[in-house]
Amino acid sequence: MHVAGIVAAGGRGTRLGTPVPKQLLDLGGRSILQRAVDALEATAGVQELVVVLPPEWIDHPAAAVSAAKPLVRVPGGARRQESVARGFRSVSAQAEIVVVHDAARPFVTPALIERTVAAAAESGAAVAALPARDTVKEAQSAPGVEGARAAVPGGPGGGLRWVRRTLPRETIFLAQTPQAFRRDVLRDALALGEKGVEATDEAMLAELAGHPVRLVEGDPGNFKITTEADLAYARWLVGSPAGGWTMRVGVGYDVHRLVAGRALVLGGVTIPFERGPAGHSDGDAVCHAVIDAVLGAAAAGDIGSHFPDSDERWRGAASVELVRSVGCKVRDRGFRVANVDVVVMLERPKIGPYVAAMRAALAAALELSEECISVKGKTQEGLGPIGTGDAVAAQAVALLVGSR
């Protein structure tokens, strides 16, 4: 059995707002398109490949694709069905089965392609699909308005905010690609498209042409990259250093001598006591440890490089404001603080009554929920300078989540 694969990569993918169509974007060292091509390449039964590209991108380096199997690149049309029809015209004469796959689904597996092809060889047409897991509601624009769906502008779901009815979930499947067809079935289906029938996939054209279409068990991992979040998730899945969601951990430590005549400020909270930390700023060891943890996670230097004690601007500075400033600096680098955990090492006084206020002050400075900030006190059992009440120290750990 001779099988041809058509990769539908003709879309402009303008929704992501990138200069390059989404299927040509890098995903861990290969383009999204190349990953889709590689899956077909790795599918033993597929003998030849046709890649349909936006005409204006066909010679662009970003659209380069490679495969060991015979591969032709074809300029697409204005709509998906035109693009697939153009691809179909480039399929070799001996192809008996044609499998169509969206370039924007880079995680398709050879196993899924094979079972879709096998079902089409048996039944004429087959589509990979997932059973609906959630309860399915059909929507309408206003209660009791019949036929409202067609009248509502704004694309899928636009303006439809009322339930019309609940559909029996057991009968609902969500179509993916691959979709595979016997050659004559796809010819019929695409001919219908060329007559002006609009469809969102080739299986729909085959249905409208009167051909039975088999459902093949799809793969939740075979998702379509449509939104920026999909792209970030895809990049995270492949561990792409160029993007995705990255997690970064940082650690910070600070110690200050405790002297008479200074206010004891910790975590932005002034605690009544007869001694306070010596220092250029307010000597808030908790804030200083947090700053170093956050900067450390972003590999963005340390407190001394951002707020040097040789700079008069920071004399007597409220360190909790420096925490705020550091939160902004890491946000500018594409990170957000996920959580912070602090250990305060202090013999006296007990910090317990002030922990809630410290958490609130740090949370406000970092624009986080208080639930994401932990502050714990620890005495030193009388040992060392902290144990004798001559110093206060703090350790902090911060987790940053990067969106790039």
Q: Among residues 175 and 318, whose Cβ is nearest to Mg ion?
A: 318
Q: Among residues 182 and 288, whose Cβ is nearest to Mg ion?
A: 288
Residue nearest to Mg ion (CB): 288
Instruction: Determine whether 166 is exposed, middle or buried from the number of CB atoms within 10 Å of its CB (0-12, 13-18, 19+).
Output: exposed
Whole-angstrom Cα distance, residue 283 to residue 259? Answer: 11
Q: What is the DSSP letter of 159?
A: T
Q: What is the DSSP letter of 200?
A: S
The minimum distance between CB 65 and Mg ion, in angstroms, equals 55
Residues in contact with Mg ion, counted by CB under 5 A, come to a total of 2
- Of positions 102, 114, 254, 282, contacts Mg ion by CB under 5 A: 254
| CA-closest candidate to residue 374, choices 356, 400, 350, 349 | 356
Q: Among residues 80 and 256, whose Cβ is nearest to Mg ion?
A: 256
Q: Among residues 175 and 343, whose Cβ is nearest to Mg ion?
A: 343
**Residue written as token pair 């400075």:** 365
Query: Sign of torsion, CA 362 365 369 373?
Result: negative
Instruction: With contacts defined by CB under 5 A, name the span among 101-109, 149-157, 254-262, 341-349 that binds Mg ion.
Output: 254-262
Instruction: Determine whether 331 is exposed, middle or buried from the number of CB atoms within 10 Å of its CB (0-12, 13-18, 19+).
Output: middle
The minimum distance between CB 281 and Mg ion, in angstroms, equals 7
The minimum distance between CB 266 and Mg ion, in angstroms, equals 11
The minimum distance between CB 392 and Mg ion, in angstroms, equals 10
The minimum distance between CB 381 and Mg ion, in angstroms, equals 24
The minimum distance between CB 248 and Mg ion, in angstroms, equals 22
Q: How many CB atoms lie within 10 A of CB 18?
A: 13
Q: Among residues 114 and 254, whose Cβ is nearest to Mg ion?
A: 254
The minimum distance between CB 395 and Mg ion, in angstroms, equals 13
Site for Mg ion in 285-344 (CB under 5 A): 288
Which residues, in sequence order, are CB contacts of 75 under 8 Å at separation 6+? Answer: 52, 53, 54, 55, 58, 86
Q: Among residues 213 and 266, whose Cβ is nearest to Mg ion?
A: 266
Q: Among residues 95 and 394, whose Cβ is nearest to Mg ion?
A: 394
Binding mask 277-296 for Mg ion (x = CB under 5 A): -----------x--------
In DSSP notation, 78-144 reads SSHHHHHHHHHHTS-TT--EEEEEETT-TT--HHHHHHHHHHHHHHSEEEEEEE--S-EEEEESSTT
- Note the residues at the interface with Mg ion (CB under 5 A): 254, 288
